[in-house]
Structure 1
Amino acid sequence: MEQEELTALDKLNVLIIDDQILVQNVIKSALFELGIVNVKCAENSYYALRLCEQTQFHVVICAFNVKSDKDGFHLLEELKFKRYVTKCTVLIFLSAETSEDLVNSIVELQPDDFWVKPLNNKQVQARLPLTLEVKRTLFNVYQALDRQDYSKAIYYAERYMLNPALSKYHLQMKRLKGECLLQLREFADAALYYENLLQSHKTSWAHLGYIKALLEQDRLAEIQLLLQQLTDKTDTRFATYDMLAHYYIGKQQYGKAYEEIKKATRLAPRNIERNKRLLDLARLNHDHVGQYQATIAMAKYAKNSIHDSPLLRLNVVRAGIDYATTIDKTDAVRVLNQSEILLTELEKQPAMASQLKDQLLVIRARLHTAREERDKAEGIVDNHISLRPGTSVEDNLDKVKALHELGRREDAVSLLDAIKRQISGTNLTSQVVSKYIEQEAAERSAVHFTPQQLNRMAVEFFKRNKFHAALNSLEQAFSLTPNNMSVALNILKVLVALQQQETLDAGHLALANNLLQQLQHAKLDEEQQEKCVGFQQHFSQ
């Protein structure tokens, strides 16, 4: 696209994507009155993509609720990925909704304008020419950004800021210059730039740029008050949580990173890459219910998008089995039944059955083991599953779990060693996955059973007054499920019983104290709360 193409209105190509004919007609009528005649309309994403293959559009106006196939967020994500929409394209988002999660998702896509429905002719005729003028006037900057030539973008921005005739665009140029400094990783210069800018322009984006520049320099302590202020404001809290998650991953503070990424994901749930980071951090932090929910969210939001894949539904089943092995039998049956339904659906699809046959067999074996159908699981593993690692880390991990759950620990640990060699890359995602593999290897070498199996063993030991054995089983279970307060309470119960037989040593008392502190900050139901109070009274005597 060239700058002059945005000058003549009668030469502009405009695409309207909305499943409401009335909205299409209102916008078309307003465009025709402006002299824009080359207008195409699409009622769904499929048709919009076909039109983009045939024509280069200068203006794309897209509704969020394109209900017939994929929503507007994922459509625009795909249009950008395929380069049908670039920084030089005028991109306008339409929605009748103004909810916080939708606005956050829209902001991530960086449209040039956001029109709230219902629309009328005057609104369209007033807004579009202004947006076109900005894009046309600052075209050189946007073209440089498209080419990722951030130094050249700064050069043009600074030139424009020297021109008094372009004063109404100066603030926009200041914003783009700051973003380019961050992209160039000139974090010290960026921090000073934003600090000076904030003396006269206390905008949300300037505060967020300043925060990012300081976090990248590990200067978190300097901005604690500002962080609190930004997380209290609707228009900045999402981006602040996201930056903090990124920062804590870099510092290998994965518990804090997980808390921040959960907040960010709740505020902008459609971003699949963020959901992947959420999933990786949930696994690393032993949050099995969070892991299960993250896979469900990914399968839901990725549907019909460029991220959609049968593997996302496979991961829901895998996470369901992981979760089921950490909870009591009644709840586990419910989760396993849900997993069975989804797995059966996948097995019935011919393409899945042929392309992902090995993965489906591993999951089926794990499901049998979780249901205590050991013979069936062993039959699948012995006759159909190779111990050699495949190309997918996730597939290999699931195979490790299948082997470990059947007590084949040496094979499981050997396969884990092979997976370690598969992890490559220095980015933060690779860092989290690598740490998770390391954790899995250590735990599966040291702990020989699932949390559910360990809990059952502890119950049997307790009934036979073998309190040390019961405590050992429960401590192992708690190491695998450190957020499970039922296990914490059971450990305290065993410690009380043990104290009636012998004097507790310093290690036992420290364990009790640590668990009671953790329980004070946990969400407990009424029965758990009552037990907790009783244990607190007992150990405070």
Structure 2
Amino acid sequence: MDKIPLPKLIDELKILVVDNQGLIHDIIKSALTELGVKQVSSAQNAFHAVRLCQQDQFDVVLLSFNVSSDKDGFHLFEELKHNQYISDKTTVIFLSAETSMELVNCIIELQPDDFWVKPLDRNRIQQRFNYLINIRRKLHKVMHSMDNGDFAAAIYHAERGLKDPGVTEYHPRLKRMIGDCLIQLRDFAAAERYFYQLKQECDHAWVHIGLVRALFKQDKLEDAEILIEDLLQRNDTRFLTYDLLAQYYIGKEQFDVAYEQVKAASKLAPRNIERNKKLWDLARLNRDKFGQLAAVQNMAKFAKNSIHDSPELGLNVIRTMIDLAATVSGAESEKLQRQVNKEMVNLTRGDVVEPTLANKMLIVKARMASLQNDKRAAEKLLKENLQTGLTMNLEDNLDLMKAYHELGMKEDCLAILDTLRAQLAGDTLASQVVDEYLKREEIERREIKFTTKELKEMATVNYRENRIIPAFNNLCQALTLSPHDKSIALSLLKVLVQINKSDPLTDTQHDVALNAVEMLSRAPLPPNQLQKRNEYMTALGLNEVQLDVAPE
């Protein structure tokens, strides 16, 4: 077994305090100096903090969540961790005067060592600091083993620590480490037994979450559900439980259920970019265009001034607005198009636009031309100006595929699908979701040549000209592309009423009617749409049909 280095003494520790209030620096430095700390550095903004971290490696970082002059503590923490200025060996303490559940959930996600609420008290600072430094000192063998991925050795050292009366106050921490190690070792049956035993002794959130995680890993969903109902009622476990549920259902390819869980988790902790990306993927997989737009707008909003910030996020907002504008019609579509034009101006503001971004914007302009029924201009943009030699990521190719589809260029569209599949790497949850999305896209792009908006317009013309069956077919394809569109479902019922006047509905048409009514029964409807739905149901004899609709 490798020799484990001894932890630093208190007078050897290097401390960094990041806060925009001078008084906070004075209180902390004074309190720590009394404990024997000799090296305390101060930064009043994120820029200065990064400069100090470039020059020195700190053992303890006290970080205010509200460093508002350039970027907040959440973004700064991510940047310091990304650049390896903060490691698993660094003690991180968050400072904040705010204690809202949303902020606490965001901080929990970052997994700092402690969270101190302002205003700070000298005695409290010294008490908590001593506690945290003693964790590093007294549990250093366990922590060293975990940092190096030797989880079996970590369990050995932790179990020895549980027999040591000198570290009794750290026994809960040691027990949590043992549970984490069992999960890391994939010994889920042992982890289940371990957490069940702990559950009889204490009521810590991490015990319940660890038990549910172990049960999920063994597909013991029924056992987990017994616990989940209670955990969703608790403030300290609700957020983590939604996250676990989402991961489980994505793994089982139940993407509709997973989507609801990720939405709930995102509301409780909205700043996490990776979760918003997952939310975006699940929204488009579930054909929720409004959900897609909300997710990308959140990503752009919360990534500002962070390591995630890039023109790509603004571009994705534009792309998603176009997707939605191609689904809705009338004033709603026109409003979205105006927003797109405004966002395009903001994104390309400046003297020089980088070539790759210019190429991506070209595709956006082509899609906007198609949306405005200027197909000739759209096709000219792509054929004469698109630079195919430039590197294009997965989202770029998705957008190009949509541009080709909107122009009816089927072969080009399907060729891009092959490129997209090749770009998916690994078996991550994100790639699993996107792969499933592409499979559905391929089926629809092969079978359906038009956008939702075009299909709705075609259905309107066909219905007006008394071509009822073509109108029905148009609307069926439109609902395939936009399965949550209430106006399409209502139009389908209206067309089916006309068909039923001439001939009884076929089994397929009857099923379409039932699906439309069920979708409309799940969605809140304004009075006029509710009246129409009921009239159509009566005309089709569906009032007595028992629908599989969840209670509201």
Bin of the TM-score, shorter chain as denominator length:
over 0.9
CA RMSD of aligned residues (A): 1.8
1:57 corresponding residue in structure 2: 58
| Greater alpha carbon shift after TM alignment, 73-82 vs 530-539 | 530-539
1:489 corresponding residue in structure 2: 490
Residue 83 of structure 1 and its aligned partner are, at CA, apart by 2.2
1:326 corresponding residue in structure 2: 327
1:7 and 2:32 correspond: no
Residue 290 of structure 1 and its aligned partner are, at CA, apart by 0.7
Preserved CA contact (<8 Å) 1:87 1:145: no
Preserved CA contact (<8 Å) 1:43 1:66: yes
1:174 corresponding residue in structure 2: 175
2:138 corresponding residue in structure 1: 137
Give the SS at the match of 1:91.
Answer: strand
| Greater alpha carbon shift after TM alignment, 31-40 vs 246-255 | 31-40
Give the SS at the match of 2:431.
Answer: helix
CA distance in 1, matches of 2:159, 2:15: 31
Give the SS at the match of 2:17.
Answer: strand
| Greater alpha carbon shift after TM alignment, 403-412 vs 304-313 | 304-313
CA distance in 2, matches of 1:82, 1:146: 17
Runs of 5+ unmatched residues, structure 1: none
Q: Which letter does structure 2 place at the counterpart of 1:42?
A: A
1:540 corresponding residue in structure 2: 542
CA distance in 1, matches of 2:351, 2:501: 61
Residue 54 of structure 1 and its aligned partner are, at CA, apart by 0.9
Runs of 5+ unmatched residues, structure 2: 544-552
**1:65-144 alignment runs, 5 A limit:** 65-144=66-145
**1:372-521 alignment runs, 5 A limit:** 372-385=373-386, 390-521=391-522
- CA 1:386–1:55: 2 relative to 1, 3 Å: closer
CA distance in 2, matches of 1:529, 1:7: 72
Q: Tell me the alpha carbon deviations over residues 16-43 of structure 1, each in whole angstroms, 9 at most, x when there is no partner.
A: 1111222222222322333323211112
Preserved CA contact (<8 Å) 2:321 2:336: yes
CA distance in 2, matches of 1:80, 1:159: 31
Residue 386 of structure 1 and its aligned partner are, at CA, apart by 5.2
Preserved CA contact (<8 Å) 2:17 2:63: yes
CA distance in 2, matches of 1:4, 1:166: 17
- CA 1:266–1:3: 2 relative to 1, 3 Å: farther
Q: Which TM-score applies when normalising by structure 1? A: 0.96
CA distance in 2, matches of 1:270, 1:507: 45
2:358 corresponding residue in structure 1: 357
- CA 1:150–1:349: 2 relative to 1, 3 Å: farther
Q: Which TM-score applies when normalising by structure 2? A: 0.94
1:264 and 2:292 correspond: no
- CA 1:245–1:487: 2 relative to 1, 3 Å: same
Preserved CA contact (<8 Å) 2:75 2:306: yes
CA distance in 2, matches of 1:134, 1:141: 10
Give the SS at the match of 2:42.
Answer: strand
Preserved CA contact (<8 Å) 1:5 1:12: no
2:187 corresponding residue in structure 1: 186
Give the SS at the match of 1:198.
Answer: helix
Preserved CA contact (<8 Å) 2:356 2:391: no
Q: Which letter does structure 2 place at the counterpart of 1:13?
A: K
Preserved CA contact (<8 Å) 1:3 1:136: no
Preserved CA contact (<8 Å) 1:160 1:170: yes
Q: Tell me the alpha carbon deviations over residues 228-283 of structure 1, each in whole angstroms, 9 at most, x when there is no partner.
A: 11111111111111111111111111111111111111111111111111111111
- CA 1:141–1:79: 2 relative to 1, 3 Å: farther
- CA 1:45–1:149: 2 relative to 1, 3 Å: farther
Preserved CA contact (<8 Å) 1:14 1:38: yes
CA distance in 2, matches of 1:533, 1:116: 55
2:313 corresponding residue in structure 1: 312
CA distance in 2, matches of 1:408, 1:236: 50
2:550 corresponding residue in structure 1: none
1:159 corresponding residue in structure 2: 160
Residue 373 of structure 1 and its aligned partner are, at CA, apart by 2.6
CA distance in 2, matches of 1:385, 1:354: 11
Q: Tell me the alpha carbon deviations over residues 71-110 of structure 1, each in whole angstroms, 9 at most, x when there is no partner.
A: 2112112222222222322211111111111111111111
Residue 211 of structure 1 and its aligned partner are, at CA, apart by 0.4
How many residues align? The count is 539
| Greater alpha carbon shift after TM alignment, 42-51 vs 386-395 | 386-395
Residue 401 of structure 1 and its aligned partner are, at CA, apart by 0.6
Preserved CA contact (<8 Å) 1:154 1:177: yes
1:244 corresponding residue in structure 2: 245
- CA 1:452–1:291: 2 relative to 1, 3 Å: same
CA distance in 2, matches of 1:487, 1:44: 53
- CA 1:350–1:416: 2 relative to 1, 3 Å: farther
Q: Which letter does structure 2 place at the counterpart of 1:403?
A: Y
Q: Tell me the alpha carbon deviations over residues 112-170 of structure 1, each in whole angstroms, 9 at most, x when there is no partner.
A: 11111122323212321122112221122222232233222222212211212222211
Preserved CA contact (<8 Å) 1:389 1:415: no
Preserved CA contact (<8 Å) 1:458 1:471: yes
Preserved CA contact (<8 Å) 2:356 2:390: no
Give the SS at the match of 1:199.
Answer: helix
Preserved CA contact (<8 Å) 1:321 1:367: yes
Preserved CA contact (<8 Å) 2:17 2:41: yes
Preserved CA contact (<8 Å) 1:346 1:352: no
1:301 corresponding residue in structure 2: 302
- CA 1:188–1:472: 2 relative to 1, 3 Å: same
1:292 and 2:311 correspond: no
Q: Which letter does structure 2 place at the counterpart of 1:346?
A: L
Give the SS at the match of 1:348.
Answer: coil
Q: Give the share of equivalent positions with the same residue, in percent.
A: 43
Q: Which letter does structure 1 place at the counterpart of 2:23?
A: L
